[in-house]
């Protein structure tokens, strides 16, 4: 009877078969994510040389079965190391993407507000930002409105958007509230 209790205690300290399978699937998904990364982003992920080589080789393989086998091998190599630095790098990529999306949305909102309201909107922007070149913004707004009236391509509206995006990169534009 004592022997049975020892086995139960040993089983409680080890992960269940289901948990080991979930862990293996997570590592396999991580390997798949790494294989899908662009070479520039993959270069920014802290990986050992053998793991990086396995991932690069998997990217080159065109046969689905062979690619799956190589992905399994990369996952096997990933199980040997601590995945935290890799997950931290991937999370950083997601944060960058969210920041870029936010910058795009703020710039679009300000462009649309400037095109709708004109000088009133420029005055509002000047309240929040001291680095506004009002003369350039007014010129871009006038040209964008003129292009829209004549049905021409929106070159000035694009230039206005780029100027606003550059301003947002230096310092975040204030968020417009729907009034």
- Residue 62 and residue 109 in one domain: no
Question: 87 in a domain, yes or no?
Answer: no
pTM above 0.85, yes or no: no
**What's the CATH code of the domain at 152?**
1.10.60.30
Q: Are 75 and 27 in contact (CB under 8 A)?
A: yes
- Residue 53 and residue 109 in one domain: no
Q: What is the mean pLDDT of residues 135-157?
A: 90
Q: What is the mean pLDDT of residues 14-28?
A: 89
Give the model confidence (pLDDT) of 63-106 as tens digits: 999 999 999 999 999 999 988 999 999 998 888 889 889 899 99
**Low-confidence winner among 107-111, 143-147, 170-174 (lowest mean pLDDT):** 170-174
Nearest residue to 167 via CA among 131, 141, 136: 131
Q: What distance, in Å, lies between the first and last C-alpha atoms of the chain?
A: 75
In this structure, what token pair is assigned to residue 147?
């292009």
Question: 175 in a domain, yes or no?
Answer: no
**What pLDDT band is residue 132 in, cutting at 50, 70 and 90?**
confident
Q: How far apart are CA 21 and CA 143, in angstroms?
A: 61
- Residue 150 and residue 115 in one domain: yes
**What's the CATH code of the domain at 49?**
1.10.60
Q: Is 177 left (phi over 0), alpha (psi -120 to 50) or beta?
A: beta
Q: How far apart are CA 102 and CA 58, in angstroms?
A: 34
Q: What is the mean pLDDT of residues 27-35?
A: 92
**Low-confidence winner among 9-23, 36-50, 76-90, 165-179 (lowest mean pLDDT):** 9-23
Look at the chain and report how many structural domains it folds into: 2
Higher pLDDT, 5 or 98: 98
Question: 177 in a domain, yes or no?
Answer: no
Report the residue count for the chain.
179
Question: 66 in a domain, yes or no?
Answer: yes
**What pLDDT band is residue 178 in, cutting at 50, 70 and 90?**
low
Q: Are 71 and 35 in contact (CB under 8 A)?
A: yes
Q: Which domain holds residue 46?
A: 2-81
**What pLDDT band is residue 11 in, cutting at 50, 70 and 90?**
very low
């Amino acid at each position: 009877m004592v022997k049975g209790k020892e086995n139960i205690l040993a089983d409680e300290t080890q992960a269940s078969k289901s948990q080991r399978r979930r862990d293996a699937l997570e590592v396999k998904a991580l390997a798949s994510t790494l294989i899908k990364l662009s070479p520039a982003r993959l270069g920014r992920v802290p990986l050992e040389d053998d793991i990086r080589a396995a991932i690069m080789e998997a990217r080159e393989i065109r046969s689905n079965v062979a690619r799956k086998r190589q992905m399994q091998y990369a996952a096997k190599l990933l199980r040997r190391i601590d995945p935290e630095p890799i997950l931290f790098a991937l999370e950083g990529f997601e944060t960058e993407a969210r920041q870029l999306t936010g910058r795009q949305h703020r710039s679009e909102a300000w462009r649309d507000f400037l095109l709708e309201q004109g000088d009133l909107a420029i005055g509002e922007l000047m309240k929040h930002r001291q680095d506004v070149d009002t003369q350039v913004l007014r010129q871009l707004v006038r040209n964008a409105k003129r292009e829209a009236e004549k049905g021409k391509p929106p070159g000035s509206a694009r230039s206005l958007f780029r100027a606003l995006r550059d301003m947002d990169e230096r310092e975040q534009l204030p968020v417009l509230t729907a009034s």
